[in-house]
C-alpha cells in the first residue's frame, strides 16, 4: 500500500449523476487488479503536509479502481462514482491540478483463472465501476466476456460505447427505459449455466436476490462479489467494516471486498 497526494488529471460527469475522475500517482495502482480499492480523504487543504490536513470530514471514502491507462509512459487510474453525499460531491467538484490524499491499492480483488474462457459479469448500478476494468483485462487475455448492466432506469447505465467492442453487453432496466425490462438478477440466472466464472458488484439487495435465485435453482457455482461497507480506515485498524460470514467475522477492507456470494448471503 502506498500513500500519495494524487493530482487530478481530468474530471467529468459521464452520465446521470455519475462522475469519472482520473489521477496520476501511479504508485497507488501499482500491482493492483480489478476489485482492488483505495481510500480518499475528501478534505479541503492548502498544503500537502498530512499533519495540517483538516479533520472534517474525518473519514476517508473508499472507491474501487475503475480503470487504468498509460499516457506518455505514465500509469494513470480513475474512479467512477455516484454523487450521494458530501464526500462524493467534493470529489465531483475537483479541477485538474487539484490534489487528493489517498492510499492504496487495498483489499483482495477479483481472482480470474487463466483457464476460464467464458466470464459472466453482473453490475448493479454503480457496481459497474470495477467491472469495466475486469472486462478490459479479460478481453486483453483472450477471454469471452458477457456483461449484464442493470439499473433502475436508463440514466444509471454506463455508456456501452466505452466498453471494448468484444464484450457482449446486456442492458436491463427496471422501468424498461433502456434494454430489457427487468432485473439484472434474472439475466444473470439465464447465463449462469454456461460461464466458467461469475463476478458481480452492486447493492446488497442485488446480492441477496442472486443468492436466493441460486438457492431456488439449486445452483452451487461460486460467484465472486465485491461487498460495500462503511469504512473508517481501509487498513484493518478501526474494525468498522466487520461483517459476519459463514467462515466467521471478516473485515471487508482486509479479507475482502471480494467474497464468495454463498459465504455472505
Ligand X SMILES: Cc1cc2nc3c(=O)[nH]c(=O)nc-3n(C[C@H](O)[C@H](O)[C@H](O)COP(=O)(O)OP(=O)(O)OC[C@H]3O[C@@H](n4cnc5c(N)ncnc54)[C@H](O)[C@@H]3O)c2cc1C
**Residues binding ligand FES (CB under 6 A):** 231-234, 236-241, 251, 253
Q: CA-CA distance, 193 to 102, in Å (whole number)? A: 40
**Shortest Å, Cβ 261 to ligand FES:** 20
Q: In 3D, which of 209, 221, 234, 201 has the Cα closest to residue 132?
A: 201
**Shortest Å, Cβ 41 to ligand FES:** 14
Q: CA-CA distance, 69 to 162, in Å (whole number)? A: 14
Give 229's DSSP letter. Answer: -
Q: What is the CA radius of gyration of the chain?
A: 18
Which cell numbers in the block locate residue 155? 440514466
Binding mask 99-138 for ligand X (x = CB under 6 A): ---------------------------x--x---------
Q: In 3D, which of 222, 199, 197, 207 has the Cα closest to residue 64?
A: 199
Which of ligand FES, ligand X, none sits in contact with 68, Cβ below 5 to 8 A by type?
Answer: none
Residues touching ligand X, count (CB under 6 A): 21
Indicate which single residue of 4, 25, 28, 63 sits in contact with ligand X (rule: CB under 6 A). 63
Indicate which single residue of 3, 8, 26, 82 sits in contact with ligand X (rule: CB under 6 A). 82
Which of ligand FES, ligand X, none sits in contact with 86, Cβ below 5 to 8 A by type?
Answer: ligand X
**Helix (H/G/I), strand (E/B), else coil: 183:** coil
**Shortest Å, Cβ 201 to ligand X:** 8
Q: In 3D, which of 161, 110, 106 has the Cα closest to residue 138?
A: 110
Which of ligand FES, ligand X, none sits in contact with 11, Cβ below 5 to 8 A by type?
Answer: none
Whether the bond between 237 and the residue before it is cis, its omega within 30 degrees of 0, is no
Q: Summarize as ranges the residues that interact with ligand X (CB under 6 A).
A: 37, 61-64, 79-82, 84-88, 126, 129, 228-231, 257
Amino acid at each position: 500500500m502506498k500513500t500519495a497526494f494524487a493530482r487530478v488529471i481530468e474530471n467529468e460527469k459521464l452520465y446521470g449523476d455519475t462522475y469519472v475522475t482520473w489521477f496520476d500517482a501511479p504508485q497507488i495502482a501499482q500491482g493492483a487488479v480489478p476489485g482492488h480499492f483505495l481510500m480518499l480523504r475528501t478534505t479541503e487543504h492548502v498544503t500537502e503536509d498530512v499533519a495540517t490536513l483538516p479533520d472534517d470530514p474525518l473519514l476517508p471514502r473508499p472507491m474501487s479502481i475503475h480503470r487504468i491507462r498509460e499516457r506518455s509512459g505514465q500509469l494513470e487510474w480513475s474512479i467512477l462514482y455516484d454523487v450521494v453525499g458530501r464526500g462524493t460531491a467534493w470529489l465531483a467538484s475537483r479541477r485538474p491540478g487539484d490534489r487528493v490524499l489517498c492510499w492504496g491499492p487495498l483489499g483482495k480483488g477479483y481472482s480470474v483463472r487463466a483457464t476460464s474462457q467464458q466470464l459472466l459479469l453482473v453490475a448493479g448500478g454503480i457496481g459497474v465501476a470495477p467491472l469495466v476494468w475486469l472486462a478490459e483485462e479479460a478481453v486483453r487475455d483472450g477471454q469471452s466476456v458477457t456483461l449484464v448492466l442493470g439499473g433502475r432506469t436508463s440514466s444509471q447505465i454506463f455508456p456501452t460505447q466505452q466498453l471494448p467492442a468484444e464484450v457482449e453487453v446486456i442492458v436491463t432496466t427496471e422501468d424498461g427505459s433502456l434494454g430489457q425490462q427487468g432485473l439484472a438478477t434474472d439475466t444473470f440466472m439465464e447465463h449462469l449455466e454456461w460461464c466458467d466464472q461469475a463476478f458481480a458488484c452492486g447493492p446488497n439487495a442485488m446480492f441477496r436476490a442472486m443468492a436466493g435465485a441460486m438457492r431456488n435453482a439449486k445452483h452451487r457455482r461460486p460467484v465472486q462479489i465485491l461487498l460495500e461497507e462503511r469504512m473508517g480506515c481501509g487498513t484493518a485498524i478501526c474494525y468498522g467494516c466487520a461483517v459476519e460470514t459463514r467462515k466467521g467475522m471478516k473485515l471487508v477492507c482486509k479479507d475482502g471486498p471480494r467474497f464468495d456470494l454463498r459465504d455472505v448471503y
